[in-house]
Structure 1
């Protein structure tokens, strides 16, 4: 019976299951993005500081969120400078729409337990 391959445990599936974020981890990770619509930086920062040390998934999601905030701030500053050439008005609106839509997508992906980096984000925090 010990030599029968049918009864050998499959450790890869167990490890994958243990690495999948729990319901609470996924909830707090998505809460980072949801709170960003109401409190911009303060709400996500509080969630990240409190739960980031307890969960690797929440910590990674918090870093991804703040990478996107820093990056989009840089892109908005560049767009503001480009307003002198009039193209900045278009890029500013496009960036605002992109950030809004990708934040919703990121919240859904975080709730599903997937890692997601918002497009145009520069990885400052690793």
Structure 2
């Protein structure tokens, strides 16, 4: 594989997380990167390293999203349980609205982090520079 193709595939691997997240919000980011990485990992050492890096970052974001979902479910369950016994008072409704707003904001922040870091990584890979995400759990070695 020539150097220009390596750079292009390196950039595409990083952008695969954004594309996958737009198509399948829960695990699409991992699937998008995984498919692109598996296609070209044996053709280039650069693409292999960048694919692993992108895959680790997307797995990290998915774990964070899963944690937010679990916390949101617990909060919703607590709110529903308290509504069974205490029907009056707007404090419970206000708390539910507040927690829902915070959870939606957290999901949007994850989206924004994915977009920003993936674009930076794609631009660096397109210039031939290996990118290492600042916050990533290194699972795939």
Structure 1 position 108 matched with structure 2 position 123: yes
- Aligned partner of 2:13 in structure 1 is 32
Q: How does 1:1-126 map to 2 (within 5 A)?
A: 22-39=3-20, 40=28, 41-83=30-72, 84=75, 86=99, 87-126=102-141
Task: Name the structure where helix makes up a greater proportion of residues.
Answer: 2
TM-score, normalised to structure 2, is 0.64
Whose RCO is larger (CA < 8 A, sep 6+)? 2
Superposition RMSD in Å: 2.2
Q: Which runs of 5+ in 2 are unaligned?
A: 21-27, 76-94
Name whichever of 58-67 and 108-117 sits farther off.
108-117
For the residues of structure 1 that align with 2:31 and 2:106, how far apart are their CA atoms?
26
Query: Do the aligned partners of residues 35 and 70 (structure 1) sit closer, same or farther apart at CA in structure 2, a change above 3 Å counting?
Result: closer
TM-score, normalised to structure 1, is 0.71
Q: Which stretches of structure 1, 4 residues or longer, exceed 6 Å deviation after superposition?
A: none
Q: Which runs of 5+ in 1 are unaligned?
A: 1-20
For the residues of structure 2 that align with 1:55 and 1:27, how far apart are their CA atoms?
12
